[in-house]
Amino acid sequence: MNKNQKILRTIIILLAVLIFSLSNLYFLLIKFEGFWLALSGSLEILLFIGLLIAILLFIVRIIKYPQWRNKFNSITLGIALIFFCIYFLPFSLVNENTLQSPVKIRACYEGTMNTSILFFRENGKFEDFNIGFFAYVHTLAGSYTQKNDTLFLNFEKGVSHLLGDTLVIQDSILYKVQNDTLAFTYYYLGKCKGLN
């Protein structure tokens, strides 16, 4: 019976650590093009269901068997409850600035089937993460320079149909310079608002 307790405790702690790690790897996984983000999300859901089942089994056995009521099982249950509180609160140890240059300008595009998050970093680099249908990720990256309200982009990875080589910031919206006129890019400054 004692061996079963250790196995179930280990499963609960391992699943909690894996789920917490996956939820904090979003800004790393988004850098991989393709379906990696969708696969990690599916894996996170499966691990979460497994964790929920393990915790319910654990609670039932603690209630049913007096020998399961010990300090190690109480600590494991406490860790699981803390994990649930942290997981469902908007809390993350990792964000877009972790191990990277801080974001100077952030913009968002929200289409009907995709969302793009555009970061202009203080080190002169930019990156655009377009998350489309079935969480398929397409990325753009390069360097930029800024003069007043104008951004000059040098694409090093990917091609954009919405962004141009020269962007102008006007009224918190990004416009591209196209044939000496300003064309609407559908990118607005700030974090995404969840409009789509």
Tell whether 107 and 84 lie within a shared domain.
no
Are 150 and 156 within 8 A, CB to CB?
no
Tokens of 17: 């650590």
Tell whether 22 and 48 lie within a shared domain.
yes
Stretch (H or E) spanning 69? none
Tell whether 35 and 11 lie within a shared domain.
yes
Instruction: Classify residue 195: in a domain, yes or no.
Output: no
Instruction: Classify residue 97: in a domain, yes or no.
Output: no
Tell whether 111 and 181 lie within a shared domain.
yes
Tell whether 71 and 19 lie within a shared domain.
yes
Tell whether 68 and 125 lie within a shared domain.
no
4 vs 9: CA distance, rounded Å: 8
CB atoms within 10 A of CB 140: 20
Tell me the CATH number at 111: 2.40.128
Along the 196 residues of the chain, how does pLDDT read in single tens digits? 567 888 888 888 888 888 877 776 666 665 666 666 667 777 888 888 888 898 888 889 888 988 888 888 888 888 887 777 777 765 555 555 666 788 899 999 888 788 888 899 999 999 888 877 776 777 888 899 999 999 999 988 877 778 888 999 999 999 999 888 888 888 999 988 877 6
Q: Which domain holds residue 30?
A: 2-88
Provide the domain count of the chain.
2
